[in-house]
Chains A and B, each alone.
Chain A
Amino acid sequence: MVAIRLAQTSDLPAVSALDARLTGTAKPDYWQSMLNVPERHFLVAESEKGELAGFIAGEVRAWEFGQPAAGWVFAIQIDPKLRLKGVGTRLFEALVARFKDKGVTRVRTLVDRRDHLILSFFRAQGMVAGPSLQLDMDVA
């Protein structure tokens, strides 16, 4: 069983380390900035032993890309040894509850289409393809 709570400065080393381990890129400044912006919702899941089990971050944004207010999920990571125990679902549901408290009726995220694990997770939560299509261009 895990407890879901707001992230604190003391969580940042563990958050940054988990993210770096899973993505291969350390970005401590980015996670620090998550805490610095009051509008951001940054939640952690803590195991009974007090260890970081996972985290989720998002924000309500209006008129990004012409779309009315929606809760954007920026990031979610779960410790691999604690996966398939509902930790991700608990974090997602907690974030959605906070979005709903802010009055939004839509949740949105952006996923690498080759990342089948995270795509499957969001699908299992009930998310489906939205109205937008992401476009990229290499300008190197």
Chain B
Amino acid sequence: MKLQTGTRLGLYAALELAREPERTLSASDLADRFGVSAHHMAKVLRNLANAGLVRGGRGASGGYRFTGNRKRTTLMDIVALFEPAPGSRPKEPGEQTDIGSALQRVLTEIDEIAEATLRSVSLETMLKAKR
């Protein structure tokens, strides 16, 4: 499964901040840790902040901390902030044909399994597995 870069960074940042909820890290700190530009990380953090998962940060040096619920927030909650919702994708050329719709059923099956997996793993479970 391929996640967009922003999604992956959103997961990295949320997990890193959720690891120690009292600690604050700046967009620059997180950007350095995961090898991306501070600008890109700041954009990702704004998205997480709008969803109430992190708070803080003005500019690249402002500190962010985790404000969500580690047990209740799943990987899917974060993925959904960055990726289009399942079913909201525009139809691809050829999808209306019998072959196209048969292929789409297989792809939907794969998406449903991926979504169930992402929805079943909380940040708490992820962080526990890391120890």
Given A120-B74, A126-B129, A113 contacting B121 (CB threshold 8 A): no
- Min CB distance A39 to B, Å, is 29
Task: Please indicate the chain A residues that have their CB under 8 angstroms from the CB of B122 in the complex.
Answer: 120, 123-124
- Min CB distance B42 to A, Å, is 31
Give residues of chain A (85-140) contacting chain B, Cβ–Cβ below 8 Å. Answer: 113-114, 116, 119-120, 122-124, 126, 129
Q: Name the prevailing secondary structure of the B interface residues.
A: helix
B120 beta carbon closer than 8 Å to chain A = yes
Q: How far does the alpha carbon of A129 sit from the alpha carbon of B117 in the complex, in Å?
A: 8
Determine whether the beta carbon of A116 is less than 8 Å from that of B116.
yes
B32 beta carbon closer than 8 Å to chain A = no
Determine whether the beta carbon of A114 is less than 8 Å from that of B120.
no
Number of A-B contacts (CB under 8 A): 28
Q: How far does the alpha carbon of A114 sit from the alpha carbon of B112 in the complex, in Å?
A: 9
Q: Residues 96-131 of chain B: 1 if any A CB is under 8 Å from the residue's CB, otherwise 0?
A: 000000000000000011001101111011001100
Pairs across A and B, CB under 8 Å, 15 listed: A113-B112, A113-B116, A116-B74, A116-B119, A116-B120, A119-B116, A120-B119, A120-B120, A120-B121, A120-B122, A120-B125, A122-B120, A123-B125, A124-B122, A126-B129
Q: Name the prevailing secondary structure of the A interface residues.
A: helix
Q: How far does the alpha carbon of A40 sit from the alpha carbon of B92 in the complex, in Å?
A: 51
Task: Please indicate the chain A residues that have their CB under 8 angstroms from the CB of B116 in the complex.
Answer: 113-114, 116, 119
- Min CB distance A62 to B, Å, is 27
Q: How far does the alpha carbon of A105 sit from the alpha carbon of B125 in the complex, in Å?
A: 22
Q: Which residue of A lies closest to B113 (CB)?
A: A113
